[in-house]
Amino acid sequence: MSVAERRFISELTSLLDSRVSIRTADGRKITGRLIGFHPASLSVCLWDAEVEGEGTTIPKLFLNGSMIVEISSAEKPFDIRGLANRIAAVFGEEHVKVIEDKGIILVMGRIRVTREGVEGPPGPATDRVRGIFNKFVEETASRS
């Protein structure tokens, strides 16, 4: 797999569990939460999908990749790299590892940070990371 292909799949993976808008070959616009996709065919699974103009919600929708013309983010993606930089400014770059395609930041090998929050052993380091996370989320929300 080429670097470009890996980056493409990584970008699509970063949209998992977020709302996306899909334009189909027949012109419909479908919005829903991207739950999964097949890398070879680009077929997707959406939860709580809404077809524009129909007014109904489809709990689980599978779309064949050959029917998809465009996929776009319906919400601003979480800036995992920006948060990692903020944490690294406090703990040092050598203690912060970003797994961008999974949306995970590991701090000192034992504190796990995702867009959902902070998990780690009780203690001052975890509390400090949680404080940085909360401030980052608050500042990001106020800019939106």
- At 68 the pLDDT is 96
Given 3.30.70.890, 3.30.70.2190, 3.30.310.60, 3.40.50.300, which CATH number is that of 80-143?
A: 3.30.310.60
As annotated, the residues of the chain forming the CATH 2.30.30.100 domain(s) are 3-73
Q: How far apart are the first and last CA of the chain?
A: 36
φ and ψ at 27, to 5 degrees? 90, -5
Q: What DSSP designation does 28 have?
A: -
Q: Say whether pTM exceeds 0.95.
A: no
Q: What is the 3-state secondary structure (H, E, C) of 61-129?
A: EEECHHHEEEEEECCCCCCHHHHHHHHHHHHCHHHEEEEHHHCEEEECCCEEEECCEEECCCCHHHHHH
As annotated, the residues of the chain forming the CATH 3.30.310.60 domain(s) are 80-143
- Asked whether the CA dihedral 6, 10, 12, 16 is positive or negative, the reply is positive
53 sits in which H/E element: none
Assigned CATH class of 3-73? mainly beta
- At 102 the pLDDT is 78
Contact residues for 106 (Cβ-Cβ < 8 A; gap 6+): 96, 97, 98, 99, 112, 113
- pLDDT by residue for the chain (144 residues), tens only, comes to 788 888 888 888 878 888 999 999 999 999 999 999 998 999 999 999 999 999 889 999 999 999 999 999 877 777 888 999 999 999 999 999 998 777 899 999 999 999 889 999 999 999 999 999 999 999 887 775
